A and B are shown apart, each in its own frame.
Chain A
Amino acid sequence: MNISSNRRTRDKIITCLTYAAMFVVLLLPFALFIGLAFKSELLFRDHSLGQLLFSSSWRPSAGEFGFKPFIVGSLYVTLLAMIISAPICLLSAIHITQYAPARVSKVVTTAIDILAGIPSVVYGVWGMMFVVPIVSRYAAPLFGVQTTGFSILSGGVVLSIMVVPFILNILIEIYRTIPKELTEAALSLGATRWEAVRSILNRKALPGILAAVGFGFARAFGETMAVLMVVGNAIRIPESLFDQGYPLPALIANSYSELASVPEVESALMFAALILFVVVLLFNATLRWFIIKTEKY
């Protein structure tokens, strides 16, 4: 009697704890958003949202906060990274799950896990040592451009390498969970191996592919260290891949220690963080909509 009531109490406590934990998790994004919005409010006393987002003039000392160069820089670097990494990830996930022998796919999976665990500053240093010089010495001259190599291109390349393990991991999982019988069905209907992958497996994987891209985008858009080390950090709207850029996360990281003592600047950096947050949120919400649309099979 006593023991059983004891156990029942314990059961209740655990249940409460799991609810509490779930509640905290659900609350976190709201807390984050409210915190950032609250701190950004100061900036809005003198500036309209349009000014902040679409003006290119960034002179904190003069009270001018145009975020456009940073937003554009961020988008360029991230899109470039996704354009490079998404096809690579998709093709290698298909190869690893559909064609490679079990032994090979195990080795690759291990390698991916290792890559995913490397701190981003290591990618940054590597980018400075190899990617930046290659861009400066070989890539840019091909187009008749002179550059130090610190550029949107270098940022995009380093970033694309960084997000590969994350996207690839998800994609491999997605292709693995597609039952083999589906491939067998397609083959027995007279499809070639590639036709089966292209029109059957890829269709089945589509919602997952979108989710993986969303995840990769969020990682890439917020990645700070590695990008800021190779992208040049010049406040301007980049016009070519060889121009320098200044993504939002780099702005926050570089400015925080020196400028944050000025309340309006601090507020501006909070707003930068808010932009990051909202862009990732919107992008993922849009993808989620597509995922739901494509999930019917």
Chain B
Amino acid sequence: MENQSIIKVDHLDLYAGKTHILKDINIEIPKNKLTVILGPSGCGKTTLLKCMNRLTDLTPDIKVTGNIFIGKQPVFGAKTDIVALRRKMGLLSQRPFPLPMNIYNNIAYGLKLRGKYSRTELNDLVEHYLRQVNLWEEVKDRLRSPAVRLSIGQQQRLCLARGLAVNPEIILADEPTSALDPVSSEAIEKQFAALAKDYTLVMVTHVLRQARRIADYVVFMYLGEVIEMRPAREFFEDPREEQTKKYLAGAFN
């Protein structure tokens, strides 16, 4: 791969109870590119994504062997400062889940965890990140109203801004547009394409067209295994593996 990698998944196996969910995953995700994880439903895309910032901790019956490295730091390991490591990775889930706070504090929450800011600094930063996701004009007059009153599309952009505010290097997104209307969906997609200059994006999607439009690299998964990982153009124009060809032909949907 011509690019420097930032995430390295190394012989990762994951079991939930006795079920073998991820099978010997080995991939390297290039820095400041948009990598899309594709694959039929239930193949383990979400699980792989959650391994990257160890949200698997929330499910006590999950066992993991192998490891993931963010830069040089192992994700799984007793010595890992997981809080610091998670802060390097923003997260966008399938549906937006605003924090139970007002719009302003949704952004300020992460900032306050990150460090001490004066009130004016905080105001400026909140505005900055809301502008970055094109939400500022829509919410500037109601920063103190509950975030849940926003439309779903606005909420998702707020969640993106909230993630960007902690200054991550990586953004993990799990089908971030699947709950959105077409207009909001396009807005998020455009954001992602733009963000890929400064951030490493890992996005799960099941929308092939979306992957075609914005992906730099594609990881294709099937039944818990990575079948192939290639630059997007090669992947779509010249799929190597049998399962990939079937998938692209729509056989699994």
What's the least CB distance linking B172 to chain A, in Å?
8
Can you list 20 residue pairs at the A/B interface with Cβ under 8 Å? A101-B60, A102-B60, A102-B61, A181-B93, A181-B95, A181-B97, A182-B99, A184-B55, A185-B91, A187-B58, A187-B83, A188-B90, A189-B163, A190-B83, A190-B84, A190-B114, A191-B83, A199-B109, A203-B100, A297-B100
Task: With A187-B53, A191-B83 given, name 7 new contacts (CB 8 A).
Answer: A182-B100, A184-B93, A184-B97, A189-B87, A189-B109, A190-B110, A193-B57
Q: How big is chain A's contact interface, by range?
A: 20 to 34
Complex Cα distance, B58 from A67, in Å, reads 53
Chain B positions 54-111 with a Cβ under 8 Å from a chain A Cβ: 55, 57-58, 60-61, 83-84, 86-87, 89-91, 93, 95, 97, 99-101, 109-110
Complex Cα distance, B99 from A297, in Å, reads 8
What's the least CB distance linking B154 to chain A, in Å?
16
Which 6 pairs from chain A and chain B are nearest by CB? A297-B100, A188-B91, A190-B87, A189-B110, A101-B60, A204-B100
Does residue A180 face the partner (Cβ distance < 8 Å to B)?
Answer: yes
Complex Cα distance, B112 from A189, in Å, reads 10
Are B100 and A200 within 8 A (Cβ)? yes
User: In the assembled complex, which residues on chain B have CB atoms less than 8 Å from the CB atom of A192?
Assistant: 83
Given B91, B99, B163, which contacts A200 in the complex, CB threshold below 8 Å? B99
Given A188, A195, A200, A204, which contacts B53 in the complex, CB threshold below 8 Å? A188
Does residue A186 face the partner (Cβ distance < 8 Å to B)?
Answer: yes
Are B58 and A183 within 8 A (Cβ)? yes
Does residue B159 face the partner (Cβ distance < 8 Å to A)?
Answer: yes
What's the least CB distance linking A293 to chain B, in Å?
12
User: In the assembled complex, which residues on chain A have CB atoms less than 8 Å from the CB atom of B58?
Assistant: 180, 183-184, 187
Are B101 and A188 within 8 A (Cβ)? no
Chain B positions 157-201 with a Cβ under 8 Å from a chain A Cβ: 159, 162-163, 166, 172
Complex Cα distance, B56 from A239, in Å, reads 53
Does residue A296 face the partner (Cβ distance < 8 Å to B)?
Answer: yes
What's the least CB distance linking A284 to chain B, in Å?
23
Given A101, A185, A187, A199, which contacts B97 in the complex, CB threshold below 8 Å? A185
Are B86 and A297 within 8 A (Cβ)? no
User: In the assembled complex, which residues on chain B have CB atoms less than 8 Å from the CB atom of A101?
Assistant: 60-61
Does residue A179 face the partner (Cβ distance < 8 Å to B)?
Answer: yes
Are A188 and B163 within 8 A (Cβ)? yes
Does residue B148 face the partner (Cβ distance < 8 Å to A)?
Answer: yes
Complex Cα distance, B98 from A203, in Å, reads 12
Complex Cα distance, B172 from A179, in Å, reads 19
What's the least CB distance linking B220 to chain A, in Å?
25
User: In the assembled complex, which residues on chain B have CB atoms less than 8 Å from the CB atom of A183?
Assistant: 58
Does residue B1 face the partner (Cβ distance < 8 Å to A)?
Answer: no
What's the least CB distance linking A202 to chain B, in Å?
9
Chain A positions within 8 Å of B, measured between CB atoms, are 100-102, 179-193, 195, 199-200, 203-204, 296-297
Q: Which residue from chain B places its CB closest to the CB of A179 in the assembled complex?
A: B97
Chain B positions 102-155 with a Cβ under 8 Å from a chain A Cβ: 109-110, 113-114, 146-148
Interface centre among B99, B159, B163 (most CB of A within 10 A): B99
User: In the assembled complex, which residues on chain A have CB atoms less than 8 Å from the CB atom of B101?
Assistant: 203, 297
User: In the assembled complex, which residues on chain A have CB atoms less than 8 Å from the CB atom of B89?
Assistant: 188
Are B166 and A185 within 8 A (Cβ)? no
Complex Cα distance, B57 from A186, in Å, reads 14
User: In the assembled complex, which residues on chain A have CB atoms less than 8 Å from the CB atom of B93?
Assistant: 181, 184-185
User: In the assembled complex, which residues on chain A have CB atoms less than 8 Å from the CB atom of B166?
Assistant: 189-190
Given A185-B93, A185-B97, A297:B146 Cβ within 8 A: yes
Are A187 and B60 within 8 A (Cβ)? no
Given B60, B61, B113, B163, which contacts A191 in the complex, CB threshold below 8 Å? B113
User: In the assembled complex, which residues on chain B have CB atoms less than 8 Å from the CB atom of A296?
Assistant: 146, 148
User: In the assembled complex, which residues on chain B have CB atoms less than 8 Å from the CB atom of A297?
Assistant: 100-101, 146-148
Complex Cα distance, B185 from A199, in Å, reads 30
Complex Cα distance, B152 from A274, in Å, reads 48
Given B55, B86, B97, B147, which contacts A190 in the complex, CB threshold below 8 Å? B86
Are B100 and A195 within 8 A (Cβ)? no
What's the least CB distance linking A179 to chain B, in Å?
6
User: In the assembled complex, which residues on chain A have CB atoms less than 8 Å from the CB atom of B53?
Assistant: 187-188
What's the least CB distance linking A198 to chain B, in Å?
12
Complex Cα distance, B62 from A180, in Å, reads 15
Complex Cα distance, B53 from A190, in Å, reads 11
Are B100 and A189 within 8 A (Cβ)? no
Q: Which residue from chain A places its CB closest to the CB of B113 in the assembled complex?
A: A190
Are A195 and B91 within 8 A (Cβ)? no
